[in-house]
């Protein structure tokens, strides 16, 4: 069994940040003030709480703060949205990591640690801690025929929790049990109808009997919608009618703001007469919304727009009728998993005769299905939708977004919680993933930023897949906490699309194996509430007592060697403390770890040593790759710790590379090729290089070639057999040399030989006068 180690990744620019292990309670009641304790480290002098909810819906008042514990009174407004959100603790040093929490409209209670049953009056949202080998028990009263909703939130707090709910009657007889529900990760949401009136015991525990003080849960009991997925799951501004759960269930009205930004959101839905709300994922539509009928008959639809449905019956198949003009394009993106649905989407486009003309394919690295089509002629087509597993259910929903032009690019920022000193900046790297057919530059603009906050550069060229922006605060930018978003739009003002730059905050800790290879994030860490992935937490702090820059924007590191990293600092006269440095990114890991591949070391900078040079060292097992390296500088002045982050690109390469000069040569069958291989060594390296050819080329090649020390290349000959068929022959091989005492092997293509087809001999024509004479 592989041994696991825990590694914690902090957001860029906050190397000295505080860290929150858990929030207690993990839920606040709407319209009430709740005393909340944040437990972790480096929480001294905490003065405020950043949250991802709409402005003004959550207010925090500090009560006490120590290094490992900070207490706030948090007031949730009457209109605070019910559902999951994110919080960060603010200290004078900067922002903490992100922690997830719940806003509820059910009465909130502390459950205690109930080895014996505690009485619970419905409706309620009771919170507790999942303890190892223990369970909490709650007594509830139910009437005969009463339907009661139950929900547990634990895994959705981003913790490795697996809650299990068991219901027993007063005698201990088993009544019901619920573990996981699709779309809620390891949490559950369900409804139970009690046959008899009486007292019942609801038990909550971890299904694996695991637990610790950081794994909290909230048990919701009462009358609320228990459907996990909405139909439709795309809405337009104004009034929308939403269905949740079983067929025929009353529809729920949702008034959607005309000012809503593009992208997904959590909608709070509450039926008439309910005790509390349910929250479900939805998105803003860019056109009409069509819901498939469940009779099996085709549903007329138009696009651009959204096509939605629920595959209730096993094997159900929905069909949408679409009309195309000649040359009209269809770009389709289908989703199900992100909607809390268990469906594995299968989508196909059929012509009028029922022949399949295009099938959707799974987008790499996602659960989405994409399809592209251009109509060769005007006519009618059908879009067929099924569950690949042919299952069904009330929550087996799907959504197809259809456009006439390519989908907007997806932009992902590598930082999301930033502490920016007045008169300074922090870096904000952004990567771009363009959909097929998407072209053009991208323009960026800030939304909701206070005065004095700017982003530069504000555009991404068409041929760039990433950019490092600077989020800058002017000398008079307002101090304190702010929330901002970044809107991406076409660089050409004639474009129509809009897309928010998104983030992927690390919730909880990231696991790595014994080889320091990061393991995939858990589902509860990947699928975060939209409000924490479409906005940035910003803390504007007083000016920094120092600045630093990296003079080199790009560095090349030869495997098994080290490369210097120069740093230049400036400081205020009154600041006499050391400035320390650390680096992260790529394959970097602490030098002390057993299987470190690449590590960095930096001396501190002082008043007398404003310019210093660290280094990055490559060890064995390091991989040849390019990476962005972030360097953080930390200094403490007048009790405040300041962290600034800058970055550079690191290219980890082999010390040499052998290639043909020229890279491609040609010959006829039976000819001999005169070729030359040259070695390109990096820097002062002058190692001899031995070349061994692979034996699968079909050519008579030398067993080895040697390019000696001080030599740049070697000439050799390759006879091409006369019976060789015309084709391109790639000559592969292994080049070996020593770098810093270690043997380096570089494998790959060395030379390409194009074996041409011989020209056919020309026919010789007889002279015309001779031909006439012969005829006579």
Alpha helices in 282-360 (DSSP H): none
The residues pairing with 142 across neighbouring beta strands, listed in sequence order, are 198
Question: What is the Cα–Cα distance from 81 to 279, expressed in whole angstroms?
Answer: 9
Contact between residue 579 and residue 545 where contact means Cβ atoms under 8 Å apart: no
Question: What is the Cα–Cα distance from 743 to 753, expressed in whole angstroms?
Answer: 29
Question: Which tens digits make up the pLDDT trace of 72-96?
Answer: 999 999 999 999 999 999 999 999 9
Query: Is 323 or 590 the better-scoring residue by pLDDT?
Result: 323
Give, as one character, the DSSP assignment of residue 594: T
As given in the structure block, the two tokens for residue 329 are 């394009």
Q: Is 211 left (phi over 0), alpha (psi -120 to 50) or beta?
A: left
Contact between residue 620 and residue 560 where contact means Cβ atoms under 8 Å apart: yes
Q: 575: closest CA among 534, 605, 531, 611?
A: 605
Give, as one character, the DSSP assignment of residue 518: B
- 104 sits in which H/E element: strand 99-104
pLDDT score recorded for residue 768: 59
- 561 sits in which H/E element: none
pLDDT score recorded for residue 696: 85
Q: 79: closest CA among 355, 220, 268, 293?
A: 268
Question: Which tens digits make up the pLDDT trace of 494-532?
Answer: 678 999 999 999 999 888 777 667 788 999 999 999 999
pLDDT score recorded for residue 334: 97
Mean per-residue pLDDT, 631-637 = 97
* DSSP symbols for 623-655: PPEEEEEEEEEEEEETTEEEEEEEEEEEEEE-S
Q: Is the CATH code 1.20.1630.10 the one for domain 108-222?
A: no
- 523 sits in which H/E element: helix 523-526
pLDDT score recorded for residue 113: 66
Please tell me the pTM assigned to this model: 0.91
Four-CA torsion 125, 128, 129, 131, nearest 10 degrees: -110
Q: What percentage of the chain's residues is helix, strand, coil (to nearest 5)?
A: 5, 50, 45
* Exposed e or buried b per residue across 137-146, where buried means at least 16 C-beta atoms within 10 angstroms of its C-beta: bbbbebeeee
Q: Is the pLDDT of residue 556 over 80?
A: yes
Beta strands in 510-579 (DSSP E): 510-513, 536-541, 546-549, 554-558, 562-571
- 676 sits in which H/E element: strand 672-681
As given in the structure block, the two tokens for residue 765 are 């024509």
Q: What CATH number matches the domain at 13-104, 2.40.50.110, 1.10.150.120, 1.10.260.30, 2.60.40.10?
A: 2.60.40.10
In a 13 Å sphere around the CA of 463, the CA atoms on its Cβ side amount to 0
Binning pLDDT at 50, 70 and 90, where does residue 258 land? confident
CATH architecture of 656-755: Sandwich (2.60)
Superfamily of domain 544-653: Immunoglobulins (2.60.40.10)
Question: Which tens digits make up the pLDDT trace of 107-138?
Answer: 999 987 656 789 999 999 999 999 999 999 99
Q: Is 2 exposed, middle or buried (0-12, 13-18, 19+ CB in 10 A)?
A: exposed
Question: What is the Cα–Cα distance from 136 to 157, expressed in whole angstroms?
Answer: 19
Q: Is the pLDDT of residue 438 over 90?
A: no
pLDDT score recorded for residue 761: 76
Q: Is 639 left (phi over 0), alpha (psi -120 to 50) or beta?
A: left
Question: Which tens digits make up the pLDDT trace of 658-670?
Answer: 999 999 999 999 9
> For every residue of 348-393, which 3-state class applies, written as one string?
EEECCCCCEEEECEECCCCCCEEEEEECCCCEEEEEEEEECCCCCC
Q: 127: closest CA among 113, 143, 145, 141?
A: 113
* DSSP symbols for 248-265: TPPPEEEEE-TTPPSSEE
Phi and psi angles of residue 662, each rounded to the nearest 5 degrees, phi first: -75, 170
Contact between residue 318 and residue 299 where contact means Cβ atoms under 8 Å apart: yes
Contact between residue 320 and residue 307 where contact means Cβ atoms under 8 Å apart: yes
Q: Is the pLDDT of residue 8 over 90?
A: no
As given in the structure block, the two tokens for residue 406 are 């390519």
Give, as one character, the DSSP assignment of residue 668: -
* Bridging pattern class, strands 278-284 and 299-300: unpaired
As given in the structure block, the two tokens for residue 552 are 């080199």
Question: What is the Cα–Cα distance from 264 to 261, expressed in whole angstroms?
Answer: 9
Mean per-residue pLDDT, 556-560 = 96
pLDDT score recorded for residue 707: 97
Q: Is the pLDDT of residue 11 over 50?
A: no
As given in the structure block, the two tokens for residue 770 are 């001779």
Four-CA torsion 532, 533, 538, 544, nearest 10 degrees: 120
| Furthest CA-CA distance within the chain | 126
As given in the structure block, the two tokens for residue 579 are 């400035």
pLDDT score recorded for residue 765: 62
Start-to-end Cα distance in the chain: 97
Sheet of strand 611-618: strand arrangement: 546-549, 562-571, 611-618, 598-601
Question: Which tens digits make up the pLDDT trace of 344-367?
Answer: 999 999 999 999 999 999 987 788
Owner of token pair 């589902």: 523
Q: 560: closest CA among 597, 516, 586, 600?
A: 597
Question: Which tens digits make up the pLDDT trace of 692-748?
Answer: 999 888 899 999 999 999 999 999 999 999 999 999 999 999 999 999 999 999 999
Q: 657: closest CA among 676, 633, 681, 634?
A: 681
As given in the structure block, the two tokens for residue 600 are 């960095």
Contact between residue 100 and residue 86 where contact means Cβ atoms under 8 Å apart: yes
Q: Where are the chain's structural domains?
A: 13-104, 108-222, 544-653, 656-755
Q: 199: closest CA among 167, 221, 226, 232?
A: 167
Owner of token pair 């909290």: 216
Question: What is the Cα–Cα distance from 391 to 312, expressed in whole angstroms?
Answer: 8
* Two domains, one topology: 13-104 and 108-222: no
Mean pLDDT of the chain: 93
Q: 182: closest CA among 362, 400, 26, 391?
A: 391
Question: What is the Cα–Cα distance from 100 to 559, expressed in whole angstroms?
Answer: 41
Contact between residue 183 and residue 115 where contact means Cβ atoms under 8 Å apart: no
Number of H helices, E strands in the chain: 3, 65
Question: What is the Cα–Cα distance from 636 to 622, expressed in whole angstroms?
Answer: 34
Binning pLDDT at 50, 70 and 90, where does residue 5 land? very low
pLDDT score recorded for residue 309: 97
Q: Is the pLDDT of residue 774 over 60?
A: no
Give, as one character, the DSSP assignment of residue 776: -
Sheet of strand 361-362: strand arrangement: 289-291, 305-310, 397-403, 329-335, 369-374, 361-362
Q: 155: closest CA among 167, 165, 144, 170?
A: 165
Alpha helices in 627-727 (DSSP H): none
* DSSP symbols for 461-480: -TT-SEEEEEEEE-TTPPPE
Question: What is the Cα–Cα distance from 214 to 233, expressed in whole angstroms?
Answer: 33
């Amino acid at each position: 069994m592989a041994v696991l180690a825990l590694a914690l990744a902090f957001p860029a620019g906050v190397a000295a940040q505080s860290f929150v292990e858990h929030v207690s309670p993990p839920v606040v009641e709407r319209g009430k003030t709740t005393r909340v304790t944040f437990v972790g480290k480096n929480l001294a002098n905490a003065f405020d709480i950043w949250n991802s909810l709409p402005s003004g819906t959550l207010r925090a008042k500090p009560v006490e703060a120590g290094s490992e514990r900070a207490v706030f009174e948090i007031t949730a407004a009457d209109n605070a949205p019910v559902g999951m959100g994110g919080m960060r603790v603010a200290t004078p040093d900067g922002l903490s990591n992100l922690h997830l929490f719940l806003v509820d409209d059910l009465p909130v209670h502390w459950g205690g640690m109930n080895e014996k049953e505690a009485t619970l009056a419905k409706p309620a949202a009771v919170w507790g801690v999942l303890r190892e080998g223990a369970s909490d028990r709650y007594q509830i009263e139910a009437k005969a025929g009463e339907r009661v909703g139950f929900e547990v939130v634990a895994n959705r707090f981003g913790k490795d929790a697996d809650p299990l709910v068991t219901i027993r009657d007063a005698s201990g007889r088993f009544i019901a049990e619920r573990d996981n529900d699709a779309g809620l990760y390891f949490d559950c949401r369900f409804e139970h109808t009690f046959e008899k009136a009486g007292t019942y015991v609801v038990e909550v525990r971890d299904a694996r009997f695991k637990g610790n003080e950081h794994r909290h849960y909230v048990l919701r009991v009462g009358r609320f919608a228990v459907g996990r997925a909405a139909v439709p799951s795309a809405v337009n501004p104004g009034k929308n009618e939403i269905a949740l759960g079983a067929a025929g269930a009353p529809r729920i009205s949702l008034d959607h703001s005309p000012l809503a930004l593009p992208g997904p959101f959590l909608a709070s839905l509450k039926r008439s007469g309910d005790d509390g709300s349910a929250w479900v994922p939805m998105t803003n539509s860019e056109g009409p919304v069509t819901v498939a009928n469940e009779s099996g008959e085709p549903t007329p639809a138009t696009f651009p727009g959204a096509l939605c449905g629920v595959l209730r019956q096993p094997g159900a198949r929905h069909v949408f009728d679409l009309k195309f003009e000649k040359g009209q394009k269809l770009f389709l993106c289908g989703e199900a998993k992100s909607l809390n649905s268990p469906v594995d989407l299968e989508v196909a486009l059929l012509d009028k005769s029922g022949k399949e003309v295009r099938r959707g394919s799974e987008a790499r690295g996602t659960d989405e299905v994409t399809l592209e089509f251009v109509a060769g002629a005007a006519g009618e087509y059908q879009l067929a939708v099924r569950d690949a597993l042919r299952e069904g259910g009330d929550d087996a929903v799907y959504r197809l977004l259809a456009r006439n032009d390519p989908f907007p690019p997806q932009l992902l920022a590598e930082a999301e919680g930033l502490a920016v000193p007045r008169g300074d900046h922090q870096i904000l790297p952004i990567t771009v993933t363009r959909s097929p057919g998407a072209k053009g530059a991208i323009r960026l603009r800030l939304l909701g930023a206070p005065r004095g906050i700017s982003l530069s550069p504000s555009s991404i060229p068409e041929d760039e897949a990433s950019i490092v922006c600077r989020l800058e605060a002017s000398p008079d930018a307002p101090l304190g906490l702010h929330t901002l978003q970044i809107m991406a739009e076409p660089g050409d003002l004639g474009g129509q699309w809009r897309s928010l730059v998104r983030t992927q905050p690390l919730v909880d800790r990231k696991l790595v194996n014994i080889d320091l290879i990061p393991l995939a994030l858990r589902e509860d860490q990947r699928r975060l509430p939209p409000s924490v992935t479409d906005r940035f937490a910003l803390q504007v702090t007083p000016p920094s007592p120092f600045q630093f820059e990296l003079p080199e924007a790009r560095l090349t590191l030869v495997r098994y060697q080290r490369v210097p990293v120069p740093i230049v600092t400036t400081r205020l006269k009154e600041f006499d403390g050391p400035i320390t440095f650390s680096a992260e990114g790529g394959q970097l890991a602490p030098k002390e770890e057993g299987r470190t591949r690449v590590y960095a070391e930096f001396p501190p900078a002082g008043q007398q040593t404003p310019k210093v040079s660290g280094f990055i060292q490559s060890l064995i097992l390091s991989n040849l790759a390019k990476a962005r390296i972030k360097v953080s500088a930390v200094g403490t002045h007048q009790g405040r710790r300041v962290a600034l982050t800058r970055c550079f690109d690191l290219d980890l390469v082999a010390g040499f590379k052998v290639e043909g000069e020229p890279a491609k040569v040609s010959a006829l069958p039976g000819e001999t090729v005169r070729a030359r291989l040259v070695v390109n060594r990096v820097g002062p390296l002058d190692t001899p290089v031995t070349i061994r050819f692979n034996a699968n080329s079909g050519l008579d090649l030398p067993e080895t070639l040697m390019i000696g020390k001080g030599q740049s290349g070697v000439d050799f000959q390759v006879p091409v057999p006369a019976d060789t068929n015309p084709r391109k022959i790639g000559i592969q091989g292994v080049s070996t040399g020593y770098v810093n005492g270690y043997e380096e092997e570089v494998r790959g293509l060395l030379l390409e030989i194009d074996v041409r087809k011989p020209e056919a001999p020309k026919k010789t024509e007889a002279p015309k006068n001779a031909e006439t004479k012969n005829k006579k």
